[in-house]
Amino acid sequence: MTATPVEANFSELLQKPTDTVARMQETPRKGITLHRRGDDEDLYLTTAARAAQVTEVVDSTTRMFVALMKSDPKAVDMLTRVFPEAFPWVRFLPEAAVRKFLIEFMETAQAATDLGTVAPLAPVIASWKSTAEIYSDPELRAKLLEPVEGDFGPVEPPAVDAD
């Protein structure tokens, strides 16, 4: 059974902070979605303890899978076969690409959890999903694989942010 998400308007938190936080505390997830006006992105408010628990679970799970993959080459094969359960769209990728995605996903997850964030995983997933979309459309894939002729001018080196 999935818990019904608790929601409130951001203004409710500002006007009645004690009541809004009490509603959050009563939920199994210890969190509440705060809707904001206009184009502002909604917020999710949870307790620091709950956020730390989630981070610890993700970190521990990631470390366990990375250790498994390093200890037994058969583990990579097995995980490659079951990866479509988590990401159904990988069925459109060649098996070697699924394997590369799995390894990149796990390595990025480990590095990201060391930083205390899962944000770096989103672009990894998005780029591999885009690749799967290309493989799923033979006409698009053929078009993208066509040779390109001509000189399109100089290419600027990528900008490196020193911050």
* Structure-token pair, residue 66: 């990375």
8-20 mean pLDDT: 91
Give 57-94 pLDDT, tens digit per residue: 888 988 898 899 889 889 989 999 999 999 999 999 99
Query: Considering the chain, what is the average pLDDT of its residues?
Result: 89
* Closest by Cα among 132, 121, 149 to 62: 121
- Give this prediction's pTM: 0.72
* Structure-token pair, residue 19: 């009541």
Percent of residues, the chain, with pLDDT higher than 70: 96
Is the Cβ–Cβ distance between 56 and 78 less than 8 Å?
no
CB atoms inside a 10 Å sphere around CB 105:
20
Domain locations in the chain?
7-46, 52-144
Give 122-154 pLDDT, tens digit per residue: 999 999 999 999 999 999 999 999 988 888 889
Q: Where do we find the tokens 């780029």?
A: 127
